[in-house]
């Protein structure tokens, strides 16, 4: 099946001469949830804005459902919903009107039942007659989501949708996203909450300095890079590692009070049993042991730091 979004060799140089995207290529499959991670200024918003047809690329192409986003702006914009990072709404308009007008702007016939459903799903129904300036920051953010859903898009972009949103609401929002996904909507989101990406995405992309450093199935990512750590607290600190422990490539932490052993939890043999025997053999006494699963966050930090 052809990808629903196909980005090739995308370059964006802003007027200032700054190159925000340095030749990004990526395909997005219909129906997937793709999370884009990257530090501030990585180029996430620039990439999304170009796909949505809001910012023009300097070179390269983007096809959405087979249509070029620059030449065929109407066709591509009609099937895309965008929840922008910045709040951009008329503060003196009501919630109901804001969301209904947005549907009209995308060339769709009025459908009050759909607007009502969207507002109810996002817990905005009781605020439908309020002006936007009367809402809290988190509620305004939800209005942006409602706007993006007003014209029943096939592809939804969420640029930092949960920044400044409380925990309960964030959960509600992800429920909405999950429901959309079950309805076949393709979802691309950026977030700084790595646990969030870890929880809901099918694929994770890491972008930094205008380049995609990695894009992979989340499960594969966790498997190849997701390692475990055994942390061994010693009863008495050591200054050097005793002989016999070299094969384990241990790290010393906490002024010699802690040994760190990295191992692959997906393999059959972890080496823990022999390591513990070797530690006893070397005459070290163990005070405590714990394990720690490495997370997407570790992977992310490692990738971004390596390039820094
Ligand atoms: N209109 C503009 N003119 C000049 N430079 C810009 C413009 N918009 C963005 N940039 C620059 O392009 C780079 C990428 O910005 P972008 O907004 O895409 O980053 P981001 O990954 O979305 O960051 P954040 O996580 O902070 O939202 C930054 O260095 C930014 O300063
Ligand atoms: Mg951004």
DSSP sequence for the chain: ---SEEEEEEEEE-TTS-EEEEEEEEEE-TT-EEEEE--TTSSHHHHHHHHTTSS--SEEEEEETTEETTTTHHHHHHTEEEE-SS----TTSBHHHHHHHHHHHTTPPP-HHHHHHHHHHTT-GGGTTSBGGGS-HHHHHHHHHHHHHTT--SEEEEESTTTT--HHHHHHHHHHHHHHHHTT-EEEEE-S-HHHHHHH-SEEEEEETTEEEEEEEHHHHHHHH--EEEEEEESS--SSPPTT-GGG--EEETTTTEEEEEE-TTSS--SHHHHHHHHHHTTPPEEEEEEEE--HHHHHHHHHHHH-
| Mean pLDDT over the full length of the chain | 89
Whether 20 and 100 map to the same domain: the answer is: yes
CA dihedral 165, 170, 173, 177 (to 10 degrees): 120
Whether 131 and 81 map to the same domain: the answer is: yes
Whether 248 and 208 map to the same domain: the answer is: no
Mutate to test the pocket of ligand 1, among 44, 52, 86 (most ligand atoms within 8 A of CB): 44
- The response to whether residue 161 sits with its C-beta less than 6 Å from ligand 1 reads no
**Pick from 193, 223, 253: which residue ends a domain?**
223
Residue 154 above 70 pLDDT? yes
Residues ≥6 apart with Cβ < 8 Å to 71: none
Whether 60 and 181 map to the same domain: the answer is: yes
Specify the CATH number for the domain of residue 101.
3.40.50.300
Whether 192 and 55 map to the same domain: the answer is: yes
Nearest CA to ligand 1 atom 17: 45
Residues of the domain holding 284? 227-293
Please tell me the number of the ligand nearest to residue 44's CA. 1
Q: pLDDT of 241-269, one tens digit each? A: 888 899 999 999 989 999 999 887 766 78
Whether 159 and 267 map to the same domain: the answer is: no
Nearest CA to ligand 1 atom 30: 41
Whether 21 and 155 map to the same domain: the answer is: yes
Mutate to test the pocket of ligand 1, among 41, 51, 85, 162 (most ligand atoms within 8 A of CB): 41
- The response to whether residue 81 sits with its C-beta less than 6 Å from ligand 1 reads no
Query: Quick check: is 52 in a domain?
Result: yes
Distance between Cα 101 and ligand 1 center (Å)? 29
Whether 81 and 172 map to the same domain: the answer is: yes
Residue 166 pLDDT class (50, 70, 90 cuts): confident
**Pick from 223, 247, 265: which residue ends a domain?**
223
**Cα(301)–Cα(163) distance, rounded to whole angstroms?**
20
Query: Quick check: is 193 in a domain?
Result: yes
- Which atom of ligand 1 is the closest one to the Cα of 39? 25
Whether 243 and 193 map to the same domain: the answer is: no
Q: What's the total number of domains in the chain? A: 2
Residue 186 above 80 pLDDT? yes
**Cα(127)–Cα(144) distance, rounded to whole angstroms?**
14
- The response to whether residue 46 sits with its C-beta less than 6 Å from ligand 1 reads yes
Query: Quick check: is 301 in a domain?
Result: no
Whether 158 and 284 map to the same domain: the answer is: no
What pLDDT, on the 0 to 100 scale, is given for residue 308?
Answer: 57
- Which atom of ligand 1 is the closest one to the Cα of 192? 25
Distance between Cα 87 and ligand 2 center (Å)? 12
Distance between Cα 11 and ligand 2 center (Å)? 17
Distance between Cα 144 and ligand 2 center (Å)? 15
Distance between Cα 50 and ligand 1 center (Å)? 12
What pLDDT, on the 0 to 100 scale, is given for residue 294?
Answer: 67
Residue 107 above 80 pLDDT? yes
- Output the six-digit token pair for 303: 């990738």
More confident residue, 284 or 170: 284
Residue 85 above 70 pLDDT? yes
**Pick from 195, 223, 251: which residue ends a domain?**
223
């Amino acid at each position: 099946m052809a990808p629903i979004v196909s980005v090739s060799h995308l370059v964006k140089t802003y007027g200032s001469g700054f190159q925000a995207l340095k030749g990004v290529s990526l395909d997005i499959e219909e129906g997937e949830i793709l999370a884009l991670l990257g530090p501030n200024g990585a180029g996430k918003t620039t990439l999304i804005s170009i796909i949505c047809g809001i910012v023009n690329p300097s070179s390269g192409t983007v096809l959405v459902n087979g249509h070029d986003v620059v030449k065929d702006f109407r066709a591509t914009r009609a099937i895309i919903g965008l929840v922008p990072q910045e709040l951009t709404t008329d503060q003196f308009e009501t919630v109901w009107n804001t969301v209904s007008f947005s549907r009209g702007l995308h060339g769709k016939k009025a459908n009050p039942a759909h607007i009502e459903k969207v507002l109810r799903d996002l817990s905005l129904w009781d605020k439908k007659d309020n002006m936007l300036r009367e809402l809290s920051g988190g509620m305004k953010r939800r209005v942006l989501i409602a706007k993006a859903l007003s014209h029943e898009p096939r592809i939804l972009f969420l640029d930092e949708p949960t920044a400044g949103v409380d925990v309960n609401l964030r959960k509600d929002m992800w429920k909405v996203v999950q429901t959309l996904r079950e309805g076949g909507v393709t979802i691309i989101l950026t977030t700084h909450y790595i646990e969030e990406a870890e929880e809901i995405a099918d694929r994770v992309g890491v972008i930094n300095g205008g380049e995609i450093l990695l894009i992979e199935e989340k499960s594969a990512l966790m498997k190849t890079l997701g390692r475990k750590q055994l942390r061994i607290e010693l009863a008495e600190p050591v200054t050097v590692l005793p002989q016999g422990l070299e094969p384990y490539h241990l790290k010393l932490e906490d002024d010699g009070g802690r040994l760190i052993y990295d191992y692959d939890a997906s393999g059959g043999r972890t080496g823990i049993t022999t390591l513990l025997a070797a530690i006893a053999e070397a005459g070290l006494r163990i005070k405590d042991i714990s394990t720690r699963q490495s997370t997407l966050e570790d992977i992310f930090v490692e990738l971004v730091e390596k390039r820094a």
